[in-house]
Structure 1
Amino acid sequence: MSIVGQGIDRVDGHLKVTGAATYSAEHRLPQMAHAMMVLSTIPKGRIASIDSAAVEAMPGVIAVMTHRNAPRLALPQGSQPKKEGGEQSKPDQKKQPPNPKLTLLQDDMVWYNAQPVAVVVADTFEHARDAARRLQVHCRAERAQLDFAQAKKTLRRPEPQPERPSDTGRGNFARSMERAPTRLDATYSTPMENHNPIEPHATIAHWSGDKLALYDSTQNVSGVQRTVASSFGIAPEQVRVICPFVGGGFGCKGSTWSHVVLAAMAAKMIGRPVKLVLERTQMFGPVGARPLTEQHLVLGAAKSGKLAALRHDTISSTAFLDDFAEPCTAVTRKLYASDSLQTSQRLATLNVGVPTYMRAPGESSGSFALESAMDELAYKLDMDPVQLRLANYAEKDPEKDLPWSSKSLRECYRVAAERFGWNRRNPKPGSMRKGRTLVGWGMATATYPANRKNAKAMASLLPDGTAVVRSGSHDLGTGTYTVMTQIAADALGMPVSKIRFHLGDTMLPEAPVSGGSQTVASVGPAVHQAARALREKLIGMAVADSASPLHGMAAGDIDAVDGWLVSRAAPARRQEMAAIVARAGGQPVSADANAEPGDEKKRYAMHAFGAVFVEVHIDPDVGTIRVPRIVGAYGVGRVMNRKTTHSQLMGGIVWGMGMGLMEKTEMDWRFGRAVNANLADYHVPVNADIGAIDITIVDEEDKQINELGAKGVGEIGITGVAAAIANAVYHATGKRIRDLPITPDKVLV
């Protein structure tokens, strides 16, 4: 029986519950100093002066690093920002910094509030924090662009990316709209949101001569290695990045931010290891956020519900330092069949920190707008929302005209609707009550692309009969250690207890960023291939060994079971794998693999799909919204571990609740600074907010995406949830709320 698919316990679970798992800030190095960033308090301007003498004299202070004394980096790090009018400046490409969003104390410019402007280094964390708070940085403020409405007057088109064009179109939109008897024209908005993993960003930097070791909380050890190496003008091989555990990332740890390089600069400056850990308030500004979006949708449909035309225009906020586009239209281009479709993406530039990926970037924000619009259209047509979606079911990718590698969305609708009891819904808004409490039922479609990149892995059998499998991937708490162990156990024919999986180190075979729900789909095939290659190597050694019971047999007639090589025809003929290694000299036997995607994306469209149904209870007097139950069904390819898959989908659903009802970075737009930069005022769901969550994973086989048939599950869970909640709120109250989050004041207005 295959171990892949079983819901085995996490192999790293014991380390975590006993506190033995070492996170980035917990590594101990001799003579380690502590650093604290000082952040700007203006959104734009220049540093006029820094009064560092008094701070330098404080107990325990080792150094105060500013733009006046910071190590000069090999490549110019001064930013090349966009001009005020939205026009892109034209810097010399040869002098471009390796990462424009980094602000590394190379000049006196301030481009956003909460930008790093100094680093204080001391002997203890307490001394560093106290000194950093006393450092006086005087700035000359300049006029900043902090008005989204004003910024929209000078919109820019983002640079096109693979799979993310800024504009798309098919059919004749204007003509199709003229012929559509039912039309909807609505605008939806989502606010700036900040990641709040339990573990904040943290880096320990240690130089040994010209070699740098970084213990960094990251979703991309190889990306950190490349960015830091280019910043210092050294070879990537001179930088080692180590990250065995991540206490949550959700996208913010997928990029290399300024604090990582600043820690390395401080360590170089004082000649000893430096630890730099961000305070919770510092998680708002210098390490990215989900940008603001404004999404305009126009839909035209026949009386049957068939979409005749669909247009989706998105404006998202970006920064002067660097661009980031929230690809909200990606869902619209793929989800429903429509002969005429237009989408556009534009950027409104503000003096804020550079936005970044946040769980299901684009798809989460975009699905809120699209799925809310579909619900509004269903009411205009007097049509069941599920039936409207089925009437526009895309049997193939409507954008690329390719067949789906697999698609179980019809089954997801059926299963989730049945488990929810959708057929008992009274469609009239405000018609369902529980006592005085208003009851609303809403639904939405979930989807996320199935991504995959190149990945490498190595598998080794040791003389003691245990196997070690290595890949420079990451475990963000998602279960990578466990799932890769299962894949290796299946491929090797060994019990899980005898396999150890190593990750989170640039000394290991390279793997891609753990983002875009692609880790299992990318690293899994590499682990599988490396383990299979090791298995075949051991079989070859056995059949060639005259002393082996398997000598002379055909390799294809030998199986691997529980650490033994066994003849299929004569099971008594068997040999323990460890004995093969011992007889070959006692040295580990290894095999490696490089798993690369083929041309499958030229032949198939690859997405995961799901359906989510939500019930809300609303107090008509005070507007409080409770969510007693959510039902979701998902088709996500072959499941590697039932337990971790369920956890990932549940986590995404909970995040979707936060997006729909709570999450918003409250900005003081006079100064461009977050005023709720803490976990008391930045609201996220807690246990008391969560009702019953019923998740069904629909059996789905996909032999096209990769040899394992695995799609990602990390992000699809959040998609559609905010829209389903908004649709349920409308059903309960008759009030259509198009601006997230949906708070009691909006319900009562």
Structure 2
Amino acid sequence: MMATIGTPTSRVDGRAKVTGAAKYAAEFTAPDLVYGVVVNSTMPRGRIVSIDTSRALAVAGVIDVLTHKNRVKMAEKDDDYRDDVAPENGAPFRPLYDDKVHFNYQPVALVVAEDEDTARFAATLVAIDYQAESFTTDLQARREQAIKVDKPVKPRGDAVKALAGAAVRHDAEYFIPAEYHNPMELYGATAVWHHGGKLTVYDKTQGVQNVQRYVCSVFGLKSEDVQVISPFVGGAFGSGLRPQYEVALATMAALKLQRSVRVVLSRAQMYGLCYRPATIERLALGAKQDGALAALTHEAIAMTSQHEAFSRNDIGWGDVLYRSETSRATHRLAKLDVPTPGDMRAPGAATGVYALECAMDELAVALKMDPVELRLRCYSDEDQDKGLPFSSKQLKECYRQAANAFGWPKRSPEPRAMRDGSELVGWGMASGVWEALQMPFASRIVLTANGHVEVSSAASDIGTGTYTIVAQVAADMLGVDIADVTVKLGDSTLPQAQVEGGSWTAASISHAIVNAADDIRARLLLIALDMPDSSLKELKRDEVTLVDGAIASIADPGRKIAISDVMRHGGLERIEKERGSDFAEDDKHAHNTHSAIFAEVKVDEELGIIRVTRVVNAVAAGRILNTKTAASQIMGGVVWGIGMALHEEALIDHRFGRIMNANIAEYHVPVNADVHDIKVIFVEEQDAVINRMGIKGVGEIGIVGVAAAIANAVYHATGKRVRDLPITLDKVVS
């Protein structure tokens, strides 16, 4: 048997997904299943004066129309219902709670019918009168009224004074529009009603136990009466960290009608959910003639809703990446009449590092210095805000390997100096950084006498490959073939798990598995030592390992006993152990992943059409559990970075507070023709401090810095600096 950790192992759930055997939230059925279709508001702020449901109720097959007037009882105070990732003093939006309208596309009614087509038709017949109130959805219009929010980023020195006295200065504003997740699977929930009032809820979510707690708190249900299941998720990217309103509506209808109910949102309705907030980023850099930073200031102004103050860390990444004598960072929020924003892949870093890395490129131009050389001269070996060294940081090696693979030394530094026929060629680069987080997870392992292993946890797999790395770690820790491992995930009745996000799941669940496997090994050794003429006599727990279906001495592999013989001697059919991840607190180091991104663009000189023809992304993220699925994560992040740089933008008509391109036809995302050569390099990085396996996680780091590298390449190709995303042809040729 070969060890699988660190190898390019194919997904263990791949066959189920490509054959259709994998079932998603809206594919589970029940004998009495009925269908709910949401009616959304058509104005951004005000009150509902009246709702006329008579025409809808007259349609054959319509069972009920739920509104704020006839819904079941819900929690009245925000403190009575929160979710695990709610902003401070925030709580998930309560659909159909009262007559207030907070944003356009807010759900205001639910039509329930015997079939979905009937419900969809009847929903068009619900007539609603509103009392409109003044509103604004424009971040620029509210920027002066933005409120400051506390962020754990401390000022260092007098950055304003240092900036004024710097030999070379750069000061500019960058803009990132609101972006939407657009996962392939639509948001949907199937609430199955059982006799006695118990519910099984199938929901598209990144955290089944989070949804269970939310549903129970909102509707006053007992935890033992609600089971939430989400075995497979067709993409989420952060949109499923918080419970979305479809699960509340499906549960509400099931409780009221005492029938099983399915609610699936349309693609357009998903634009009324969370999103990456539009953000204004202002960067000012002051440098000495040799490139050393004397000052760094970063101000972010982001949009949020009127009812929640959502924000993430846009402003602290400069202190992590670059050494600067002084720094100052502030974060402000503009409250608008919109849904609450949410986490989207690398929240805060994708936006903040975009602005930072574009500013560093502009500083390099002002200094007439190579962008890589500038970053090396400003390189920081510690998180300056925390005053802590990194547990590991191989960013210099990322620069070296990515630059060599890309061919960076051949770059002509002057803009518009490189051509390929009628196209201008541009080369740009950027740094990437993300947090290396780990959270308390638990796993249960069952080892049977015939050598089969079952691993279970409430953790989710949102398409990142969690099923596979769980199987890999369990197989290697228990000395069995990966084909003999069954993995169960995404069920609220399984051992505790946090939501899947922040790139923390791989490290967190792997250590829970290792700890449970340790306990199984200890139990097997205890039995083995009791066996007559045991070859493992006098060996201790840390002196044996499980390999090839046997418990064996690490120092002398010939001293071994088959696990089946050990369990037979102990009279055991199975051994079951459940353990948590048990991470030790480390307040002496900063924990981060790092990357270096090099991008090539080709720009049609006359038309301004931009193609990203090559990207090299070198990543230092500790021990890589599965080089195949991890590389896919980085590639996916690069593709999203291409979208962020060149395509994605929610267009809001501020006269109506409504998104005009709430569909995938007009909300542009990269397609196959937009994606060319992507090379992923994993830089070897040993980290004995962060955790016993040296795992960091790769879900987020793949997108960070990609948009900046492309934007910098566009400048190099054209000589035109575009600071507001996306970079469209009109901005290049104007």
TM over 0.5: same fold? yes
| Residue in structure 2 matched with residue 83 of structure 1 by the alignment | none
CA RMSD of aligned residues (A): 2.0
The separation in 2 between residues aligned to 1:64 and 1:78, in whole angstroms, is 28
| Residue in structure 2 matched with residue 222 of structure 1 by the alignment | 209
After TM superposition, list the pairs within 5 Å mapping 1:23-422 onto structure 2: 23-76=24-77, 100-158=91-149, 160=150, 164-165=151-152, 168-208=154-194, 209-285=196-272, 287-422=273-408
| Residue in structure 2 matched with residue 531 of structure 1 by the alignment | 517
- Post-superposition shift, 1:79? 12
The separation in 1 between residues aligned to 2:537 and 2:157, in whole angstroms, is 66
Preserved CA contact (<8 Å) 2:88 2:309: no
* TM-score, structure 1 normalization: 0.94
Write the deviation string for residues 359-413 of structure 1: whole angstroms up to 9, x where unpaired.
Answer: 1111000111000000000000000000000010001111111110000000000
**Mean Cα deviation higher: 103-112 or 550-559:** 550-559
Write the deviation string for residues 11-56 of structure 1: whole angstroms up to 9, x where unpaired.
Answer: 1111111111111111121211111111100000111111101101
What letter is aligned with 1:246?
V
Preserved CA contact (<8 Å) 1:37 1:118: yes
**Structure 1 vs Structure 2: percent identity of aligned residues?**
45
Structure 2 gap ranges (5+): 82-86
- Post-superposition shift, 1:607? 0.5
- Post-superposition shift, 1:152? 1.7
- Post-superposition shift, 1:532? 2.0
Preserved CA contact (<8 Å) 2:527 2:569: no
After TM superposition, list the pairs within 5 Å mapping 1:456-467 onto structure 2: 456-467=442-453
Q: 1:122 to 1:582 in 2, by over 3 A?
A: farther
| Residue in structure 2 matched with residue 681 of structure 1 by the alignment | 666
| Residue in structure 2 matched with residue 504 of structure 1 by the alignment | 490
What letter is aligned with 1:684?
V
- Post-superposition shift, 1:620? 1.3
SS at match of 2:124: helix
**Mean Cα deviation higher: 216-225 or 583-592:** 583-592
Q: Are 2:611 and 1:620 equivalent residues in the alignment?
A: no
Preserved CA contact (<8 Å) 1:529 1:595: yes
- Post-superposition shift, 1:578? 3.2
| Residue in structure 2 matched with residue 88 of structure 1 by the alignment | none
Preserved CA contact (<8 Å) 2:287 2:295: yes
What letter is aligned with 1:295?
E
The separation in 2 between residues aligned to 1:137 and 1:353, in whole angstroms, is 20
Structure 1 gap ranges (5+): 81-95
- Post-superposition shift, 1:236? 3.1
The separation in 1 between residues aligned to 2:412 and 2:559, in whole angstroms, is 67
What letter is aligned with 2:496?
E
Query: Which of these residues, 623, 626, 631, is aligned with residue 646 of structure 1?
Result: 631
What letter is aligned with 1:717?
G
**Mean Cα deviation higher: 15-24 or 67-76:** 67-76
Write the deviation string for residues 313-362 of structure 1: whole angstroms up to 9, x where unpaired.
Answer: 00000001212114211322321110100000000011011100011111
What letter is aligned with 1:739?
D
SS at match of 1:718: coil
Preserved CA contact (<8 Å) 2:452 2:484: yes
The separation in 1 between residues aligned to 2:80 and 2:662, in whole angstroms, is 26
- Post-superposition shift, 1:538? 1.6
Query: Which of these residues, 695, 698, 704, is aligned with residue 713 of structure 1?
Result: 698
What letter is aligned with 1:43?
P
Q: Are 2:656 and 1:671 equivalent residues in the alignment?
A: yes
Q: 1:206 to 1:315 in 2, by over 3 A?
A: same
Preserved CA contact (<8 Å) 1:220 1:513: yes
Preserved CA contact (<8 Å) 1:360 1:516: yes
SS at match of 2:193: strand
Preserved CA contact (<8 Å) 1:75 1:233: no
Preserved CA contact (<8 Å) 1:360 1:715: yes
The separation in 2 between residues aligned to 1:722 and 1:556, in whole angstroms, is 47
| Residue in structure 2 matched with residue 89 of structure 1 by the alignment | none
Preserved CA contact (<8 Å) 2:39 2:111: yes
Q: 1:53 to 1:497 in 2, by over 3 A?
A: same
Q: 1:42 to 1:560 in 2, by over 3 A?
A: same
Q: 1:253 to 1:20 in 2, by over 3 A?
A: same
The separation in 1 between residues aligned to 2:543 and 2:600, in whole angstroms, is 56
Q: After TM superposition, which residue ranges in structure 1, 4 or more long, deviate above 6 angstroms?
A: 77-80
Q: Are 2:731 and 1:746 equivalent residues in the alignment?
A: yes
SS at match of 2:497: coil
What letter is aligned with 2:135?
A
What letter is aligned with 1:313?
E
Query: Which of these residues, 575, 581, 596, is aligned with residue 567 of structure 2?
Result: 581
Q: 1:566 to 1:137 in 2, by over 3 A?
A: same
Preserved CA contact (<8 Å) 1:103 1:116: no
Q: Are 2:636 and 1:635 equivalent residues in the alignment?
A: no
**Mean Cα deviation higher: 624-633 or 536-545:** 536-545
Q: 1:716 to 1:56 in 2, by over 3 A?
A: same
- Post-superposition shift, 1:524? 1.1
SS at match of 1:316: strand
Preserved CA contact (<8 Å) 2:90 2:307: no
The separation in 1 between residues aligned to 2:88 and 2:148, in whole angstroms, is 22
What letter is aligned with 1:609?
H
Q: 1:552 to 1:380 in 2, by over 3 A?
A: closer
What letter is aligned with 2:260?
P
